[in-house]
Every structure is written in C-alpha cells, then in structure tokens.
C-alpha cells in the first residue's frame, strides 16, 4: 500500500512510542532475544497432540474462557503438577494462564504500582521488566549481583537507606533460578535471607522463573513461592521450554491476590488463546520430562561451544559469567569499551547482540557488558559469529589484538 502519510499524527497520545524500524528479517548470526532453534521444535508431535486435543475438546473453541477466566483446566492442572518439582503446593485454582510471562509482568505491575512508587530490581535483569516498570512511572533501584545472584548485604543496605527516607518499595523483583542475563542460581541460604529481609521491611517479592526448567545438570533450591507463599507472587513461561510463538505463561499467587489478578486480566483481554493452551497441555502432559531433558542437553552443549568460542576469539579481554542453565552468556568487556558502538558495524556484518545497557537498571554502568543468546544458532554459526564479532570489535576498539595465537589485522 502506498500512502502519502497519516494526516493526524498530531492527535497521538503524548506517550505514544517512537516508530518501530521496518522489519528486514533475521541476521545471519542472531544472538539476540529468547528464540528456540527451529529444528528443536517438535512440530510433528505438536500436530499430533493438537489433533487429539481438538477431537476431545474442540467444542470449547465456541466459547470465551470455556473453563473460566483463569484458563483451561487441563493446562492449569499441568502447571500445578509441574510446580511440585519447584516445591510449590498449588491447585489448578491457584494458577492463572497468561499470554507469556510478559502479561504476568504487566498484571502484577498494574496491581502494585502507581506513578512515583519505588521498586527494587536486580542490577542486571530482563529488559522487559525494566521498561514495563518505567512505563508505570515508578522509580527503579538496582540491587547488586555476584556470581550467586542478588547480594543480601547490599539489598539490606538499600532497604535501610530507603527506610530512612520513609520509602517502602512496592516489591523486589528477582529471577532467582537461572537469572537473566547472568544465568546464576540463588543458593538456599540466600533465599532464606532474602525472604526474611523482605518480611522484616514489609516488602513483597515478585519471583520470575521463566528459565527455571532449563538447568545444566544441576538442581535448584525450592522456589521462593514454595518457601513463603504469603509474601511472594510467582510467574513462569513455556516460551523457552517449548515455543516462544505460542505465547503461553502462567502466574501463581495467594487466593486473595489471584482474585485481583484475574479481575485485571478480564479487563485487559478476553482470555489467552484456547488452542495454544490445549496444545501445550496435551504435549507437556505426555512429554515434559523427556522434552526438557533433551533440550537442556542441547543447550548445555551450545553454551559450552559459545564459551569456548568467546575464550578463543577474545581471550582475557572478555570476562564470562558462566551460566548454570538457560540460553544466555553474559560478557564483561574492558571498562573503556562501550558495546553500543559495536551495534551498527556488527549489524553490517550480519551479527545481532544485546548491549548490556538494555539489561541494566543503570544503563551507563553496563556499557561494557553484552548478552549473547546461544539457543537459536547452530554450533557452527556460533563459532563463526563469535569470530566475526571479535573482528568487528577489533576494527572499532582495537580489542582483541589476538584471537587464539593469531594477531588480528584490520580489514
């Protein structure tokens, strides 16, 4: 369609977003986002279970929310059963099905936040969580992390400092199990200390376990919600374990809180897509353990390939935060490097990555960090793409001077 331009742009809302760039397709070396590899989507099995589910329950598609506003009962029952592995005792009535974990974030923010409120987020965290809080007009305080997750001593100091100003944060948002972007797992003793500290200061905890099923041969402590359900609201997703395009997630909360989340969801939409819920419930009721186990083995191999490629191509110039699961590698470049300078030249070389400032409460303080996703590309694409990224970095910054035993030259 050819048009001369919309005549009423001056009527848009004051907070309307800037124009999105025109879609030009995926780059050759795509290290961004939370994609899954197409070859690891069980398409044939999904077709089979979709047919089975439609034969059995297809008549429900005639109705909005056939099993009620919280979602299809079969999927809520599966979520409740799955969460026993995280130590959570939940019934289907305690589960709300959402359009991905993103809707869970939106619902919790709508429930808790007014403009001018304060929330605590981990200093490095999911970029969507940061932007959603910002859109609510709330103030963000970043809590420092180390290799094991949120630092309790630093959090205690933050809460004390805010308390002296008469500020009680509306919540503490944390990704304790496979933190995004660092890939850490918060140890049990820190979980206990976090819950005790939050309870002392009267602050609820917002727990995001979007990646908690993606573990590399290790176990994780119980979910925070399992340890103290009266002070925690919990969300999760099937985007990373099955398919991001299906857009299916969930929230679990105390009944008093759940009733309000349900009211908000009924205001915002007419329910999460029933067919997507049927497919996820049918497939994972049959195959969750086998599917996720095989996926984790693949992801662990790809993570090792990327870590080796970064070590070979960048050497000591880059510090790696080695993940214990998930799909991301978090990198620290020398303080003199602003990775945002690499975005455009990398794009011209067919490389996409996430600059650290997009995943940090203090953007400027994260200018030397970078997040790479290893779930989508093949092992060979990972090796080639990291080598190409190192060349781009050298062309722009002079670092790294060597890759392996070979001195780099400008092209």
Q: Distance (Å, rounded) from C-alpha 369 to C-alpha 320?
A: 10
Q: What is the pLDDT of residue 408?
A: 58
First vs last Cα of the chain: how many Å apart?
41
For residue 71, how many other CB atoms are within 10 A of its CB? Answer: 26
CA distances from 269 to 41, 157, 262, 265, 282 (A): 28, 40, 11, 6, 24
For 213: left if phi > 0, alpha if psi spans -120 to 50, otherwise beta; the answer is: alpha
pLDDT score for 23: 82
Tell me the C-alpha distance between 308 and 208, whole Å. Answer: 29
Query: How many whole angstroms separate alpha carbon 147 and alpha carbon 145?
Result: 7
Q: Which long-range contacts (CB under 8 A, 24 or more apart) does 283-288 make?
A: 283/42, 283/45, 283/46, 283/49, 283/242, 284/78, 284/82, 284/238, 284/242, 285/74, 285/78, 286/49, 287/42, 287/45, 288/78, 288/82
How many Å separate Cα 225 from the centre of its chain? 18
- Structural domains of the chain ordered from first start: 26-41+289-407 (3.90.1150.10), 43-287 (3.40.640.10)
Reduce the DSSP state of residue 251 to 3 states and report it.
Answer: strand
- Count of beta carbons in the 10 Å neighbourhood of residue 267: 9
Distance of CA 3 to the CA centre of its chain: 38
Pairing of strands 139-143, 118-122: parallel
Evaluated on CA atoms 405, 375, 287, 42, the torsion sign reads: negative
Which pair of structure tokens corresponds to residue 305?
Answer: 């390939």
- Tell me the pTM: 0.94
Q: Give CA–CA dist 370/338, Å, rounded.
A: 10
Q: 3-state class of 11 per DSSP?
A: helix
What is the length of the chain?
Answer: 411
The segments of the chain whose pLDDT lies below 70 read: 1-4, 402-411
Dihedral Cα 143, 102, 284, 184, nearest 10 deg: -20
DSSP 64-106: TTTT-TT--HHHHHHHHHHGGGGT----GGGEEEESHHHHHHH
Evaluate whether 213 touches 241 at the Cβ level (below 8 Å).
yes
């Amino acid at each position: 369609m050819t048009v001369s331009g919309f005549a009423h742009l001056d009527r848009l809302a004051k907070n309307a977003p800037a124009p999105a760039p025109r879609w030009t397709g995926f780059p050759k070396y795509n290290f961004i986002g939370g994609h899954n590899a197409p070859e690891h989507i069980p398409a044939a099995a999904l077709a089979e279970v979709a047919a089975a589910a439609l034969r059995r329950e297809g008549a429900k598609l005639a109705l909005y929310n056939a099993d009620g506003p919280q979602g299809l009962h079969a999927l809520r029952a599966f979520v409740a059963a799955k969460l026993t592995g995280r130590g959570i005792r939940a019934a289907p009535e305690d589960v709300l099905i959402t359009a991905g974990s993103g809707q869970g974030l939106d619902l919790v923010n709508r429930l808790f936040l007014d403009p001018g409120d304060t929330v605590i987020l981990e200093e490095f965290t999911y970029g969507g969580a940061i932007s959603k809080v910002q859109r609510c007009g709330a103030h963000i305080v970043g809590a420092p992390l180390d290799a094991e997750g949120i630092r309790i001593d630093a959090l205690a100091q933050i809460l004390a400092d805010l308390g002296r100003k008469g500020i009680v944060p509306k919540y503490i948002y944390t990704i304790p199990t496979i933190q995004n972007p660092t890939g850490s797992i918060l140890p049990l003793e820190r979980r206990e200390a976090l819950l005790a500290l939050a309870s002392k200061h009267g602050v609820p905890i917002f727990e995001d376990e979007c990646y908690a099923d993606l573990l590399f041969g290790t176990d994780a402590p119980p979910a925070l919600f399992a340890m103290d359900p009266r002070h925690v609201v919990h969300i999760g997703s099937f985007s990373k374990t099955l398919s991001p395009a299906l857009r299916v997630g969930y929230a679990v909360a105390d009944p008093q809180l759940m009733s309000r989340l349900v009211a908000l969801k009924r205001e915002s939409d007419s329910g999460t897509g029933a067919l997507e819920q049927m497919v996820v419930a049918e497939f994972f009721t049959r195959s969750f353990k086998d599917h996720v186990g095989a996926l984790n083995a693949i992801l662990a191999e790809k993570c090792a390939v990327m870590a080796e490629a970064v070590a070979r191509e960048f050497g000591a110039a880059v510090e790696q935060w080695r993940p214990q699961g998930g799909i991301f590698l978090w990198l620290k470049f020398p303080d003199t490097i602003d990775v945002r300078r690499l975005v455009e030249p990398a794009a011209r070389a067919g490389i996409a990555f996430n600059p650290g400032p997009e995943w940090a409460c203090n953007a400027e303080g994260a200018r030397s960090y970078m997040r790479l996703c290893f779930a989508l590309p093949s092992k060979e694409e990972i090796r080639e793409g990291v080598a190409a990224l190192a060349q781009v970095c050298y062309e722009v910054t002079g670092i790294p001077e060597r890759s392996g035993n070979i001195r780099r030259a400008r092209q």
